[in-house]
Amino acid sequence: MMQKPINLLAAAFTALLLINGGDAQAQSAAKWQSLFNGKDFSGWGTYLVPSKSAADQTPIGLNKDPHGVFKVTDGMIHVSGQDWGGVFTDKSYSNYHLRYQVKFGTKKWPPRENAVADGGLLFHCSLPYDYGSKCWMRSIEMQIQETDIGDYHNVGAGVPLLAFSPSKDDTDDVNQYDPFAPLRPTDKRVFRSGNFESRPDDWTTGELVARGADAVFIVNGFVVNRLYNIYRADLQQQTTSGQIQFQSEGAEHFLKDIELRPIQFQQKGEPRLVSTRQDIQISEKGAQTIEVENKGEEVELIAAELIGKELEQFDVKLPKFPLTLKRGEKLRIPVQARTGSTSGNQVKFRLETVLGPVNDFAVNLRVQ
């Protein structure tokens, strides 16, 4: 896994959970709805083409799956990866919070049999079905690839603004999410801030907050990328809605618990989160605690963000999101340095709502 020499600041726009003074409830302002019933592909369609390496290049197309690329197994979507394409919702969506779980299998297909397992979440999708690589709809991609979940790719739905800086992926020059950098339009790949994925044999939770023409990518409770003002120059308009599609791209993987809820833009009042310590020194020897109290109106928290460099050195035990923190309630989040961490490495810890980061709240974490 590459180390990320970046320095991050809050974006330009604006677990162990222990409670004092009340119970913080894992609840949401809007009800979640399942997009996949766990039994069949009702409400979904498919579009597939043969892999470029396949001996049989007979066209496949819309709602045909001769090789069983997409199957329902034990309540999950089993994606074999043999043919390239996607499974997509019949409906279009806007202003939503989407979450799903993904786990990679072992089977890989040419021409990616020796590459990391790959897939993707495409959103704001629109026709044609064969816009990207002759098999994917016009869209924006939240990458689903081993060690790279949360990278941004562009598949023609418009060009967003991102804050990014030069970085390294092994010896390759890349761009990486960096809130210190100015916002710039790009249709090129932008790497996520860090790798927060589960072990290869465990499920990773991915989330997408699609808010107007903006989007936030979340992996296992950590914000890893932000997009602003997705804009179609040819139409002279923002891209704010579309279908949702999951890719088949040469690798076996599994998807489950695909659900969505509309975003509520009404806020009862201003939360005021206060930490007992603004600066916390951590080490490998034992966990310290981020203790947060809400002294304002209740707030629903959906994620956290680490802002800094070498983020994987910080072991933060997040609570189960989303959760609602009422006035007077506290939450405690253990944090510890991982083995081999760099002394002096420092990050900021922030908390996220569906409308963006909590205003005026950050805790500095520093490795001793």
Q: pLDDT per residue over 121-149, tens digit each?
A: 999 999 999 999 999 999 999 999 999 99
Q: What is the predicted pLDDT for the residue at 361? A: 97
Residues in the chain: 368
Query: Does the structure show a pLDDT above 60 at 19?
Result: no
For range 259-279, the mean pLDDT: 93
Q: Report the 3 state secondary structure along 326-361.
A: CCCCEEEEEEEECCCCCCCCEEEEEEEECCEECCCC
For range 336-345, the mean pLDDT: 96
Residue 123: which H helix or E strand, with range? strand 118-126
Q: Per 3-state DSSP, what percentage of the chain is helix, strand, and coil (rounded to 5)?
A: 0, 50, 50
Query: Does the structure show a pLDDT above 50 at 7?
Result: no
Query: Does the structure show a pLDDT above 60 at 14?
Result: no
Of 30-34, 221-225, 235-239, 259-263, the one with minimum mean pLDDT is 30-34
Query: Does the structure show a pLDDT above 90 at 304?
Result: yes
Q: What is the predicted pLDDT for the residue at 59? A: 95
* First-to-last C-alpha distance (Å) of the chain: 23
How confident is the prediction for the chain on average, in pLDDT? 92
pLDDT (tens digit, 9 = 90+) per residue, 93-124? 999 999 999 999 999 999 999 999 999 999 99
Q: What is the predicted pLDDT for the residue at 78? A: 98
Q: What is the predicted pLDDT for the residue at 29? A: 57
Centroid of chain to Cα 201? 19
For 127-153, give one letter per residue: b (16+ CB within 10 A) or e: eebbbbeebbbbbbbbbbbbebbbbbb
Domains of the chain: 33-262 (2.60.120.560), 273-367 (2.60.40.10)
Q: What is the predicted pLDDT for the residue at 180? A: 86
Q: What is the predicted pLDDT for the residue at 169? A: 87
Q: What is the predicted pLDDT for the residue at 24? A: 43
Q: What is the predicted pLDDT for the residue at 320? A: 97
Query: Does the structure show a pLDDT above 50 at 51?
Result: yes
Of 11-20, 155-164, 257-266, 297-306, the one with minimum mean pLDDT is 11-20
**Residue scoring higher pLDDT (145 or 23):** 145
User: Do the beta carbons of residue 41 and residue 75 sit within 8 Å?
Assistant: no
